[in-house]
Amino acid sequence: MYTDLHLHTHFSDGTYTPEFLTAEAKRFGLVAIALTDHDTIEGCDRMQVACDSVGIEFIAATELTAEFNGTEMHLLGYFIDTKHPRLLEEMGRFQEVRQNRIREMVARLRGLNVPITEEAVFALANCNSPGRPHIARALIDAKVCRSVDEAFERFLKKNRPAWVPKFKISATDAIALIHEAGGLAVLAHPLLIRRDELIPDLVEAKLDGLECYHTRHTPSISEHYEMLAEHFNLLVTGGSDCHGMNKGKPLIGSIKLPYENVRRMKARLRDNHPSRLLPEPSGTY
């Protein structure tokens, strides 16, 4: 019994619909999946319906963009209440920040005589939580770049000519917000941050878990984070970070996290909120 707890749809920068992503999860035999779109939960209702129809357990989640001491980090919030008013209000603000940043980055590109428009980027993104990958795709459509990687290298990466810094919630506030919405806060892909020395402070801020398994983690890296998780009494999670075709190839199926880890997540939630109703495994397993 395996799960994938890190997936994106077109409600942020993935290319799959919730329905197609769920069908792919079924094809790979996954018994539980979480949707972790950046700074939004808009895909969760549809994904829940799709999962119910094929007997997959669905975990509502999001991936919040945050920062700690100037370092960007992504915090996954699992089992969140997708109707929580303050969570929705805060995410609305993050989406506005994202949209304004797209406008600023397109203006910089136009200043460099790159012929793209914000309308083209927004039309292509077709979501409330647009990001740099959408600008990259617009640059490919405009035949300015040949690949997403090239777009990031030439224009979009930190300190490249079209890069604009983005306001981010602090990691401590993000963890508190996830908890307020009834969820568990997990540090996403710690290897991509490479700041293990920050983990004790995040634990102090009540971080619940570490994403030990991720497409970009080698087996020895996963083992390293498993050891850190054990040391700090953190939950172990994992996921493919599938963005559909946005990252060249679909990654769903590449990470198979044992279902036992989901059981442990629920046990921790029950400890925190004894009366909490949690999704049950569906189907016959």
For binding to ligand AMP (CB under 6 A), which residues are involved?
38, 65, 131-133, 148-149, 152, 157
CB of 12 to ligand AMP, least distance (A): 8
CB of 170 to ligand AMP, least distance (A): 17
| C-alpha angle 28-3-199 in degrees, rounded to nearest 5 | 140
> Is residue 39 part of the contact set for Zn ion (CB under 5 A)?
no
For Fe ion, give the closer residue by CB, 74 or 217.
74
CB of 241 to Zn ion, least distance (A): 7
For Zn ion, give the closer residue by CB, 13 or 208.
13
CB of 236 to Fe ion, least distance (A): 17
Burial of residue 224, with CB atoms counted within 10 A of its CB: 0-12 exposed, 13-18 middle, 19 or more buried: middle
For ligand AMP, give the closer residue by CB, 132 or 179.
132
Assigned token pair, 19:
């329905």
CB of 156 to ligand AMP, least distance (A): 7
State the Cα–Cα distance between residues 5 and 43, nearest whole angstrom.
15
For ligand AMP, give the closer residue by CB, 62 or 65.
65
Q: At which residue do the structure tokens 């617009």 appear?
A: 138
State the Cα–Cα distance between residues 7 and 33, nearest whole angstrom.
8
DSSP code for 51: H
Q: Helices 85-111 and 171-180: crossing angle, nearest 10°?
A: 140
The amino acid present at 247, given as its one-letter code, is K
Dihedral (Cα; 216, 250, 50, 124), 10-degree rounding? 110
Assigned token pair, 263:
């059981």
User: What is the contact mask toward Fe ion in residues 179 to 208, using x (rule: CB under 5 A)?
Assistant: ---------x--------------------
Q: Residue 179 binds which one of ligand AMP, Fe ion, Zn ion, none, with CB within 5 to 8 A depending on kind?
A: none
Q: At which residue do the structure tokens 């972790």 appear?
A: 36
User: What is the contact mask toward Zn ion in residues 5 to 24, using x (rule: CB under 5 A)?
Assistant: --------x-----------
**Residues engaged in binding Zn ion (CB under 5 A):** 13
